[in-house]
């Protein structure tokens, strides 16, 4: 997992993390409905 992490460019890591964050927020939002 760490090797994969190192292989990803820094910008991509930030995009993935922000995507995960947004997805998690969307999931929490949908659970409230």
- Distance CA(21)–CA(11), nearest Å, equals 15
Two structure tokens written together for 17? 């993390």
Rounded (5°) CA angle 9-14-15? 95
> Is 0.85 surpassed by the pTM of this model?
no
pLDDT tens for each residue of 1-33: 567 667 778 888 888 888 988 899 988 988 887
Query: What is the pLDDT, as a whole number, of residue 16?
Result: 86
Query: What is the pLDDT, as a whole number, of residue 5?
Result: 64
- Distance CA(1)–CA(29), nearest Å, equals 29
- Distance CA(7)–CA(32), nearest Å, equals 37
- Distance CA(18)–CA(15), nearest Å, equals 5
């Amino acid at each position: 997992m760490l090797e994969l992490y190192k292989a990803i460019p820094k910008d991509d890591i930030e995009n993935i993390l922000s995507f995960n964050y947004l997805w998690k927020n969307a999931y929490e939002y949908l659970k409230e409905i």
